[in-house]
Amino acid sequence: MGYVRGLKCRECERKYPAEPLYVCEYCFGPLEVDYDYEGIKNVLSRDVLTSRAENIWRYRELLPIDGNPIVGLQSGWTPLIRADNLAGELGVKELYVKDDSVCHPTLSFKDRVVSVAISKAAEFGFDTVACASTGNLANSVSAQAAKAKMKCFVFIPADLESGKIIAAIIYGPNVVAVEGNYDEVNRLCTEITNKHKWAFVNINIRPYYAEGSKTYIYEIIEQLGWKVPQHIVVPVAGGSLISKIRKGMVEFQKLGLIKNIDTKIYAAQGQGCAPVVTAIKQKSEIIKPVKPRTIAKSLAIGNPADGYYAYKTVTDSGGWADEATDDEIVEGIKLLARTEGIFTETAGGVTVAVAKKLIEQGVIPKDESIVICITGNGLKTQEALAGRIRQPVKIKPNIDSFEKIVHEK
C-alpha cells in the first residue's frame, strides 16, 4: 500500500517529502500530493474497483494514506440520482443529482475530506485535530475526531446556523465561536497553526484533506457507467472541491479507466459572496476578496484559498459560472425538494438555482448530460426557510374538522 511519492508545488513543481507541509518555501505556491501513477496503473482496473466495498476507500491507491484508514469506513458512495422530474421542469434530457446530503457520518461532502485528513493526521502522530470552518467541516471534524479518539478544536464564525453549531457540539469537541467572518477565523487559525502542534485539517493538512474531494467525481464516473458527464455544476467555497473534480477526471484518464474528458465545469456561488464567479465573468485571473453577505453560509469564503485554481479549472474546461441571490437560493431548495424529494441546504440551493439559470441562458445545452452537485443537508440550515414555507393546516381532533379542510382544498 502507498503510492505517494511526496508533495509537489503546484506552481514551481519543487518536490517535498510527504509531511504536514502546505506551502512552497520558494514561491509560496500550494503543495499537492504527487502519486506514482505507473505503479497505480498496474493494480487498478475497472473490475478491481467494482469489486470493492462501497465507500471512499475503494480508491485507496489514489488517496494519500500509507496504512489502513482509521475513520470514514462508511463515508462516500452516495447516490447519483437520475433527476427526471427536475429535468422535466428545466426542460433538459439527461440530468443527475449527486447527493452528498446523505454522506456518512455528518451529512455533507466534508465527510470525504475529513476521513482522509484525520486518518493522515493519525499517521503523522498528531493527537489533536482542528479546523477553521463555515459549518459542515466543523461537524465532520468533531464527529470523526470523536470516533478516532483524538482531541479536537473547531473554530467557526459566531453567527453560524444553530443546526450547524449543535451538529458540532454534540460530539464533545472544543467549539470556538469567533466574532468575525470565516476569513478572519481562518487567519486566526493560521496563526494558531504556527504555535500549536495540531493537525488543522484545512491548513497544514490541506494537501491531504483536498485529495478526499476527488472521490466525489470518481464515484460519479463509476455510477454513470465509466463515463464523465458533459456538464457539472459545482458549489465553490474555498475552491478545493471544484479543482479536485478536474484532477480526479484527469487521473482516471491517466489510469486508462476512461478515455476522453469533455466535461464543462461550472462554478456556483451565492450573490453576496462570489469572488470566483466574478473573476470568471470578468475573465480576470485575479480573485478579488469580498466581505461575505449570503444565506449560503457554508460557501461564505470571501478570500478563497484555491480561488485561482477554481478559476483555472472552469476556464480550462470551457465552462462558465453564475451566482444565486438569497431568494433564488430558497427557490432552488424548494424546487429540488418538490421535484426530487431531496432536502438540501443553502449550498445545494445555490447549485440548483445556478444550473437553472445556465440552462435558461442556453449556456448549458438541453440535450446533453448534466450533473448538479448537492453537497449538504437541509436540516442544518432551517433558518434560511423561516417565513418562506407554508405552515401545517391545524384542525380539531375530529373527522368533521378534517373533512372540512379536505373539501376546502
Ligand X SMILES: *Cc1c(COP(=O)(O)O)cnc(C)c1O
Distance CA 38, CA 43 (A): 9
* Beta carbon of residue 351, minimum distance to ligand X (angstroms, whole number): 8
Q: Does 270 bind ligand X (CB under 6 A)?
A: no
Question: Interaction with ligand X in 85-144: which residues (CB under 6 A)?
Answer: 108-110, 136
9 binds Zn ion (CB under 5 A): yes
Counting contacts by CB under 5 A, is residue 228 touching Zn ion? Answer: no
Other residues' Cβ atoms within 10 Å of the Cβ of residue 386? 7
| Interface with ligand X in residues 154-193 (CB under 6 A) | none
Neighbours of 156 (CB within 10 A): 24
Q: Is 240 in the site for ligand X (CB under 6 A)?
A: yes
Residue 236 binds ligand X, judged by CB under 6 A: yes
CA 209 to chain CA centroid, Å, is 11
DSSP state of 176: E
- Measure the CA angle with vertex 141, ends 202 and 3; round to 5°: 60
Establish if 31 lies at the interface with ligand X (CB under 6 A).
Answer: no
One symbol per residue from 280 to 299: x for binding ligand X (CB under 6 A), - otherwise; what is it? Answer: ------------------x-
- By beta-carbon proximity to Zn ion, the closer residue of 16 and 182 is 16
* 108 binds, options Zn ion, ligand X, none, Cβ within 5 to 8 A by partner type: ligand X
Q: Which of 77, 189, 74, 207 is nearest to 138 (CA)?
A: 189
Task: Count interface residues toward Zn ion (CB under 5 A).
Answer: 8
Distance between start and end Cα atoms, the chain: 63
Residues 14-33 that bind Zn ion (CB under 5 A): 14, 24, 26-27, 29
How many whole angstroms from its chain centre is CA 51?
26
Binding test (CB under 6 A) with ligand X, winner from 20, 72, 207, 238? 238
| Smallest gap from residue 403 Cβ to ligand X (A) | 43
- Alpha-carbon distances, residue 291 vs 49, 274, 326, 409 (angstroms): 43, 10, 16, 46
Residue 11 binds Zn ion, judged by CB under 5 A: yes
Residue 122: strand, helix, or coil: helix
Q: Which residues form the interface with ligand X (CB under 6 A)?
A: 108-110, 136, 235-241, 298, 345, 347, 375-376
